[in-house]
Amino acid sequence: MKLDSRLFPIRRAPLAASLLALLAAFACSSVDRTPATGSDPPSGPMTPLEASEAEDPPESGPSPSSSSGLTEDEILAIPPEVGSETDLLDIGAKSLEELNTEGHLKDVQFEYDSAQLSAAMRATLEENAAWLSRYPSVSILVEGHCDERGTVEYNLALGEERARAVRDYLRDLGVGSGRMRIISYGKEFPLDPGHNETAWRRNRRAHLEIVAK
Amino acid sequence: MKPPRLPRLALGLLGAALATGVAAGFVPVTRIAGFAGSGSRAVEATSLGASAAENARQDAGDWYLDITRPGAPVRMAIPDFRLAPPEAAESGIRAGETDAASPEPLSDAGFTPAEEAAESASVASAVLWSDIEYAGVYRMLPKRFYRIAEAGSPDGVLDYYQWESIGADILVSGTLRIEGEMLVAEVRMHAVRAQENVFGRRYTAARGAARMLAHRIADDILQHAGNYQGVARTRIAFSTSRSGPRSKEIYLMDYDGHGQRPVTANGSLNMTPSWSPDGRALTYISYREGAPALYLAFLYQGRGEKLVGDFQSFTPAWSPDGRWIAFTSNRDGQSEIYLAAVDGTELRRLTDNRAIDVAPAWSPNGRTIAFTSDRTGAPQIYTMDRDGLNLRRVSFEGSWNDSPAWSPSRQHSEIAYASRIERRPFDIVVHDFETRQTRQLTTGRGSNESPSWAPNGLHIAFASNRAGDDQVFTMHRDGSNLKQLTREGSNTTPRWGNPPGNPR
């Protein structure tokens, strides 16, 4: 719970999620606090919010969506404690593909035949959790991958175990279970096609893919 | 002679589709590319025995020639099929009820009937030869010797002394002709020194199904020459990347690599197929809806369905009695082995620990399941009863052992699996339960994975990257007679299945 309160100043997570989404939306489109990219015209009123509603997967919990009776003033009155608001991306204006290629969420690399999280991996996951707490509308797919040296069959289960370890730690850090799904790809999709230690290290990974925003 | 019992046209079309490897078109989502027809009955056989007693023995089906000669391999001569004119069959055998007066139309490929017959005879001769040779139980007498024996035997007269003079113990001779929509082959096997015609059968198959015809003949010859269960009509399912990037589809091929054809065409990952014991259906995992789930493909109905979904499921294995699927799932939070009935009901968990438990494989009697577990820290092979009790560890050597496959043989009680010995890539090893010895079948050429036994327990298919990408190979159970079956894309998780309609 300690971690929870650090990352989630507002306790009721689903409500907090929608409030923060609104906050992000208003911060961008109304208050215009983002470092403006100049040429971009205001991308239509409320597109970010609409997008986030539309793309929310149904399993992401009973989120009482935006129209929770709060006025615009009341929403703006919520102190923006999380991060500095200038860091907030206009995630609604970016495609999922852009968000994923920009690398906001970092992979973690595992040891050979291991699903253990080292201190360094935990640190990376804490950064990921902090980013996710800033964008509560984001849902992710945690992919477990293995290097080519293991067998096809066992690697399917090992990749699953890696994805599960990452999901469980993110959940301990306060990322709602409803925002995360896991999948194992075994050794089917290596990041690095090489056949050496460097490639194997890169391929023994959990990758966090943004699947909704 | 009895006329063929099946409707010729229908049989012809179905058989042709099967035997030439032409699968029906690609179909979306949960449907699968279907194979019309009934493969096991695509070739029909009737006895041509030399006597009524011979016919009765052959029809009883449990008869075989005992021609063993201590210390010497049995030598077999198989001359090419001779072309028989449509109306005149081999001497002493009446032709079937063909309408010889009707003009023969050209085949689809534009061959004249004579050309088509010659081509069919050529294909059938080559396939029969390689099927018998593959079994590895006969010394095949080279064809160049046959001219000597044939020169001494005027047309149509079999001179046993001539064949004995070139060293033949068994002679298999046959004729082939086109009759209406069918190929008709008449095959006789002779015990040369006994000067006896010990086997005679007429086979009918669809035009264009010469390979299937020869496979059926080969299995019969092997059965009756030495009570050997041939694999000529068996197929191997596997997972291939050939159809597109970031996808793998389930494909089938004949045991010799011929006729590679798709079962799935959904553009996602489809892997680890497992055959139903009757050779008519497959279960496999597919990522088509995101998370890997278990699917069934009924090959001859062109139908597929999802068996178990909602959670990640891996490595299904169909039980020998056809009623159960063992698989791995994370539905209770960690990788455990489960059983489900083939209709998806009666789900039960067999393992319960924090380690990975994966890759179940049934014993031939269906009472025991082998699987991989890392409960001692590294993946090793274990067995348990089918209720999850009576756990035993099988593998003690190697730092990573996976993908157990239990031999279906009645003579040998053994398990094949992939084993990492020291820090090398994987090799295929076999653990013999009787001698408690483990023998290594591949030796350090590439990484060798996912062994699967032929239905007779005498050959093993596996995937190896010794030639670059992963490819499917077969070898004898002693590691000899290596053959590469696939060459296109990356091909993994081969599973060797029974011929369709197998009663087991």
Query: For position B305, what pLDDT does the model report?
Result: 86
Helix ranges restricted to H, B136-183: 146-151, 160-165
**A105 interfacial to chain B (CB closer than 8 Å):** no
**E-state strands within B322-391:** 324-329, 336-341, 348-349, 357-362, 368-373, 380-385
In this structure, how many other beta carbons lie within 10 angstroms of the beta carbon of residue B276? 22
For residue B290, list chain A residues with Cβ-Cβ distance below 8 A. 181, 183
* Amino acid in position B76: M
- Do B235-497 and B48-226 have the same topology in CATH? no
CA-nearest residue of chain A to B373?
Answer: A154
Query: For position B2, what pLDDT does the model report?
Result: 41
Closest-CA distance, A63 to chain B, in angstroms, reads 22
Q: Is A153 within 8 Å of B272 when comparing Cβ atoms?
A: yes
What are the distances in angstroms from CA B355 to CA A161, B87, B269, B383?
A: 9, 69, 25, 15
**What single DSSP character describes residue A173?**
T
Q: Is B493 within 8 Å of A152 when comparing Cβ atoms?
A: yes
Query: For position A35, what pLDDT does the model report?
Result: 40
CA-nearest residue of chain A to B447?
Answer: A149
Q: Which of A151, A157, A183 lies at the smallest CB-CB distance from B335?
A: A157
What distance in Å separates the CA atoms of residue A211 and residue B39, rounded to the nearest whole number? 45
Q: Which of B248, B312, B356 lies at the smallest CB-CB distance from A158?
A: B356
Closest-CA distance, A197 to chain B, in angstroms, reads 13
Query: For position A41, what pLDDT does the model report?
Result: 39
Query: For position B57, what pLDDT does the model report?
Result: 56
Query: For position B485, what pLDDT does the model report?
Result: 98
**A154 interfacial to chain B (CB closer than 8 Å):** yes
Domain boundary among A92, A122, A157: A92
Q: Nearest 5°: CA angle at B483, between B480 and B486?
A: 150
Q: Give me the DSSP letters along B430-485.
A: EEETTT--EEE-S-SSS-EEEEEE-TTSSEEEEEE-TTSS-EEEEEETTS-S-EE-
Residues A156 and A180 in one domain: yes
Inform me whether the pLDDT recorded for A3 exceeds 50. Answer: no
Binning pLDDT at 50, 70 and 90, where does residue A63 land? very low
Binning pLDDT at 50, 70 and 90, where does residue A8 land? very low
CATH superfamily of B48-226: TolB, N-terminal domain (3.40.50.10070)
- Domain layout of chain B by residue ranges: 48-226, 235-497
Residues A68 and A131 in one domain: no
Query: At a CB cut-off of 8 Å and minimum separation 6, what does B135 contact?
Result: B222, B228, B230, B231, B458
**A111 interfacial to chain B (CB closer than 8 Å):** no
How long, in residues, is chain B? 504
Domain span at residue A41 reads 2-92
Query: For position B31, what pLDDT does the model report?
Result: 37
Residues A121 and A146 in one domain: yes
Query: Has residue A24 been placed in a domain?
Result: yes
For residue A183, what are the β-bridge partners? A143
Q: In 3-state terms, what secondary structure has residue B430?
A: strand
Query: For position B301, what pLDDT does the model report?
Result: 85
**B332 interfacial to chain A (CB closer than 8 Å):** no
Residues A116 and A204 in one domain: yes
Nearest CA-CA partner of A158 in A145, A167, A177: A145
Q: Nearest 5°: CA angle at A76, between A71 and A79?
A: 135
Min mean pLDDT across A66-70, A115-119, B344-348 is at A66-70
Closest-CA distance, A124 to chain B, in angstroms, reads 24
Closest-CA distance, B449 to chain A, in angstroms, reads 7
Place of tokens 């279907």: B34
Q: What is the mean pLDDT of residues A203-210?
A: 96
Number of Cβ pairs closer than 8 Å across A and B?
A: 84
For residue B459, is it left (φ>0), alpha (ψ between -120 and 50) or beta? Answer: beta
Domain boundary among A39, A57, A92: A92
Q: In 3-state terms, what secondary structure has residue B85?
A: coil
For residue A182, list chain B residues with Cβ-Cβ distance below 8 A. 312
Min mean pLDDT across A20-34, A176-190, B95-109, B449-463 is at A20-34
CA torsion A46-A48-A52-A53 (nearest 10°) is: 10
Strand order in the sheet with B324-329: B313-318, B324-329, B336-341, B348-349
Strands B491-497 and B459-464: unpaired
Domain boundary among A40, A65, A92: A92
Q: Which of A113, A151, A160 lies at the smallest CB-CB distance from B335?
A: A160
pLDDT block averages, 10 residues each, chain B of length 504: 38 35 30 40 69 54 51 87 69 39 54 86 96 93 86 73 90 93 93 89 93 96 91 97 93 96 95 96 94 93 81 94 95 92 93 94 96 95 95 94 95 94 91 94 92 97 95 95 96 96 58
How many domains, in total, are found in chain A?
A: 2
Query: For position B245, what pLDDT does the model report?
Result: 85
Q: In 3-state terms, what secondary structure has residue A168?
A: helix
Residues A119 and A206 in one domain: yes
Sign of the CA dihedral A199, A203, A205, A211?
A: positive
**B289 interfacial to chain A (CB closer than 8 Å):** no
Q: Which of A112, A141, A153 to mutate to test the interface with B (most CBs of B within 10 A)?
A: A153
Inform me whether the pLDDT recorded for A191 exceeds 70. Answer: yes
Q: Is B400 within 8 Å of A154 when comparing Cβ atoms?
A: yes
Q: Which of A154, A181, A184, A189 to mutate to test the interface with B (most CBs of B within 10 A)?
A: A154
In this structure, how many other beta carbons lie within 10 angstroms of the beta carbon of residue B55? 16
Q: Is B269 within 8 Å of A183 when comparing Cβ atoms?
A: no
Q: What is the mean pLDDT of residues A172-188?
A: 95
Choices 3.30.1330.50, 3.40.50.920, 2.102.10.10, 2.120.10.30: CATH for B235-497 = 2.120.10.30
Query: Has residue A101 been placed in a domain?
Result: no
Residues A38 and A112 in one domain: no
Q: Is A153 within 8 Å of B356 when comparing Cβ atoms?
A: no
**What single DSSP character describes residue A177?**
G
For residue B45, what are the β-bridge partners? B203
